[in-house]
Structure 1
Amino acid sequence: MPEPSRPQELPAGLLTNPEMIKACRLRNFTRVFSLVKAHAGIYPSMIARRCDLTPSRVGEVMAGRRQLQHIDVIERIADGLRIPGHMLGLARRSWETPAVLAAEERKPPKIVVPEPMAPAAVPSAEVDSILALTARTNPNPSTLQALRCSIEDYWRRDDQHGGEALRPAVVGQLRYVVGLLKESRPAPIRQGLYGVAAELARLTGWTHFDARQYSQARAYFKEALHFAKEVDDREFMANVLACMSLQATYEDKPGDALAFVAAAQDEARAAAGTTPRVLSMLSLREAFAHASLGSRTATHEAIGEAHRQFEQIQHNDPDPAWVTYFDEPKLIVDTGIAHGRLGEVATAEPLIADALRRENSANHRGRAFHAFWLARTQLKLGKLDQACQTATEALEPASSVASERVAGHLREFYDELAPHRREPVAVVFESRLREILPARVSGSPHP
């Protein structure tokens, strides 16, 4: 149900009804009010209240005994009944932009971010003393396995709902693990704890990146590099650097993106036993960087290398857990996105569409994210009906995940739709958008 303070939206079918369109164009409010009553169940007394008119005045209009011509009255009708401004010959109304799209992108958070901290400085003394009352002081291999299982659960929940709600738990667990590292441990346990700490720090950075809180993300990514370097886990360092490369593409810093992914590839090649899946993922991150720079040949070469490496994957490869998300649909959709970043939309569209059909339905963020990419690609190809349909289907998964990055792609599609706003399919999409994503604060999302 709509909130009491927000006027109810008119049905999309009414806003695209030829009779309604004609009545609005002629400012025939006798017909407009009759159609609103018949198709939206908004009776004369409700029309009067919502449009700040007297009931008798509305009755006279509906009986055809009075006309409404003053611009301030017409504006009140547009706002009260939620009739888009262009239908009545008015400027676009302020409420027509859904609140979910009104937030500024990349808005700097108010929280002051400290510089990356040394491991011993992460938890406060109070947190340490409280955890010491309940924590096992002698972690063993079972402790490490339990921590790794909880991390994999965080990955799944992050994909389904976004990482903002998870962040306190992840940071708390990071502090707990860092506390364990303060004491002397057997080498295998200590190495395992560093690996867990590295992933918890990377995941925290990822949730900040997905919320477009870039300075916090960078601080945690640097912390993750620090933990991984302690145990010379070069493959994981490559993973963190790949995340930093992707963030740099969002910050419109393609030079930084290329430098980060080149460093990631150096670390991966220096590591013993780096798997083809890892190298394939890194090659596509390289393709993103080249595409952001507009380097067509280099982008195509990186895409080719990604596919060559992917073809070498064996079912028994010792892939690290953090790269198992990079399956064939992910390879295909990222290939399509790389082509899309280059402006090669005819090549991008079938790739993204194919991958989207095969994507895990539980990955709400991924489905929404890739669907908005597909919708924007279809729009650039002049396929307005398909683009609006694709974007409309993406609204449900988008509404169930807190991800400013997904909201950003929705805004980009919405802005690109501007020249077509008066088309019926665009009106229907916008109506569904306001219905599914009302005044919701965008929040924070695993590549």
Structure 2
Amino acid sequence: MPEPTRPQELPAGLLTHPEMIRACRVRDSAAVFKLVKTRAGIYPSMIARRCDLTPSRVGEVMAGRRQLLHMDVIERIADGLRIPGHMLGLARREWETPVGLRGTYREPLRPVSQAPSTPASLPGSDVDSILALTSRANPNPSTLHALRSSIEDYWRRDDQHGGEALRPAVVGQLRYVVELLKENRPASFQQGLYGVAAELARLTGWTHFDARQYNQARTYFTEALQFAREIDDREFMANVLACMSLQATYQDGPGDALAFVNAAQDEARAADGTTPRVLSMLSLREAFAHATLGSHTATHAAIAEAYRQFERIKVSDPDPAWVTYFGETKLIVDTGIALGRLGEAATAEPLIADALRRENSANQRGRAFHAFWLARTQLSLGKLDQACQTATDALEPASSVASERVAGHLREFYDELAPYRREPVAVAFESRLRNLVPMLVSGSPRP
């Protein structure tokens, strides 16, 4: 049974049905109630409760013996049955905008740290600290292998479900490795530990970035840079700087984005044996920065360099594990996104659509993320029906991941849809969205 504060939505097919549209337009309450009963299975007694009417009054209306003309009653019908205001000639109802999509996103203030309560069955942290002093752990090469395997697994699960739930485990491993670094160990093993620490710090930064917690993300990205610098891993430093460049585009800092990616390219060129795949990825990050700055010539030049480097890739290249995600599909979709940022929607649309068809079905976040980019691009081209269908298809994968970044792109599409709110396809999309939005924005900061 639906909660009184959040009535069940009417089916999108009913809200967009010609008979329903006509009945609402002329405020034919009898026809509206009959359609709600036959097509949504909401019977007169429930209609009465939802619209704050008596059952006898609803029965009289449906029998044609009474009309409902008072504005406050029309408003109660709109709110009780969740009929968009414009269909009944009313202003947009407050409930039509899902709570999680109202206003703009603000990064929450870092909460004051408090000592977590410990279940009675578990020892306190002070006991753990004392017992750690008696540990005789002797890490060896297999320890490094296990840690690297964990990192690969974390990245896979991050793609599938988002990184929010992974963060405690990742941070725990990072602090474990940091403790190991405090002890004297063979140089080769110590170098491996620094590499693992850099990977874990970057992954932690990424989970904060995906949650749009930018201050925390930069802190961990900086920590990753420091670990990588200890072992002079310039390729990995380039990777971290590229992440920071991407974050700067989200923070409306295109100048910073360009500075970070240029520094990343300098590090990559100074490294021994940097592979073409790495250079191609960095060139597309440069294209993002130029596109955000609105520089057409520089954007296209960076894209051309990305493709030139990509064509040089060989199967035998010793690509670092962190860049293997950058394949042809990613090259194509990032090109489309860069061109979309530049305002060249007609060129961007087929590229993003092609990449979305190729996307690995397991990468739920990527599918949702790229689908919202495609929907916004289609909307900018005036393709309303296609845009709403693309966005509707994206809602299911978006609801399966915890990613404020994805939710942010949904908000942007939703805001851009405002001029078309009364169109049937937009009504259908909003109806589907309101059913799923608690899952899409659960845990999201409120404005």
TM class by shorter-chain length?
over 0.9
2:410 is equivalent to residue 406 of structure 1: no
Name the CA distance, whole Å, in 2 between partners of 1:218 and 1:80. 46
- Note if contact 1:202-1:221 (Cα within 8 Å) is conserved in structure 2: yes
TM-score (norm 1): 0.93
- Note if contact 1:29-1:61 (Cα within 8 Å) is conserved in structure 2: yes
- Note if contact 1:137-1:180 (Cα within 8 Å) is conserved in structure 2: no
Name the structure 1 match of 2:302. Answer: 302
- Note if contact 1:211-1:403 (Cα within 8 Å) is conserved in structure 2: yes
After superposition, where does 1:2-401 map in structure 2 within 5 Å?
A: 5-102=5-102, 104-111=104-111, 129=130, 131=132, 137-401=137-401
- Note if contact 2:399-2:440 (Cα within 8 Å) is conserved in structure 1: no
How much has 1:71 moved relative to structure 2?
Answer: 1.3
Query: 1:101–1:319: structure 2 CA closer, same or farther, 3 Å change rule?
Result: same
How much has 1:433 moved relative to structure 2?
Answer: 1.1
Residue-by-residue CA offset, 1:102-151 (whole Å, 9 max, x unaligned): 364133234259xxxxxxxxxx98765555556x6321111000000000
Which segment is superposed worse, 62-71 or 392-401?
62-71
The alignment's C-alpha RMSD in Å is: 1.7
Query: 1:217–1:13: structure 2 CA closer, same or farther, 3 Å change rule?
Result: same
Q: Which amino acid aligns with 1:218?
A: R
How much has 1:92 moved relative to structure 2?
Answer: 0.6
Query: 1:133–1:442: structure 2 CA closer, same or farther, 3 Å change rule?
Result: farther
Q: Which amino acid aligns with 1:265?
A: Q
- Note if contact 1:335-1:351 (Cα within 8 Å) is conserved in structure 2: yes
- Note if contact 1:100-1:439 (Cα within 8 Å) is conserved in structure 2: no
Query: 1:25–1:301: structure 2 CA closer, same or farther, 3 Å change rule?
Result: same
Q: Which amino acid aligns with 2:258?
A: L
Query: 1:392–1:130: structure 2 CA closer, same or farther, 3 Å change rule?
Result: farther
Name the CA distance, whole Å, in 1 between partners of 2:371 and 2:294. 23
SS at match of 1:83: coil
- Note if contact 1:372-1:410 (Cα within 8 Å) is conserved in structure 2: yes
SS at match of 1:438: helix
Residue-by-residue CA offset, 1:175-234 (whole Å, 9 max, x unaligned): 111111111010111001111111111111111111111100011111111111111111
Q: Which amino acid aligns with 2:99?
A: A
Query: 1:127–1:155: structure 2 CA closer, same or farther, 3 Å change rule?
Result: farther
Query: 1:214–1:84: structure 2 CA closer, same or farther, 3 Å change rule?
Result: same
SS at match of 1:360: coil
Q: Which amino acid aligns with 1:412?
A: E
SS at match of 2:438: coil
Name the CA distance, whole Å, in 2 between partners of 1:167 and 1:103. 27
SS at match of 1:437: helix
Query: 1:52–1:308: structure 2 CA closer, same or farther, 3 Å change rule?
Result: same
Name the CA distance, whole Å, in 2 between partners of 1:320 and 1:132. 36
Which segment is superposed worse, 23-32 or 244-253?
23-32
SS at match of 1:257: helix
How much has 1:443 moved relative to structure 2?
Answer: 5.2
- Note if contact 2:407-2:440 (Cα within 8 Å) is conserved in structure 1: no
Name the structure 1 match of 2:122. Answer: none
- Note if contact 2:402-2:440 (Cα within 8 Å) is conserved in structure 1: no
Name the CA distance, whole Å, in 1 between partners of 2:3 and 2:278. 48
Aligned identity (percent) is: 82
Name the structure 2 match of 1:121. Answer: none
How much has 1:70 moved relative to structure 2?
Answer: 1.4
- Note if contact 2:107-2:214 (Cα within 8 Å) is conserved in structure 1: no
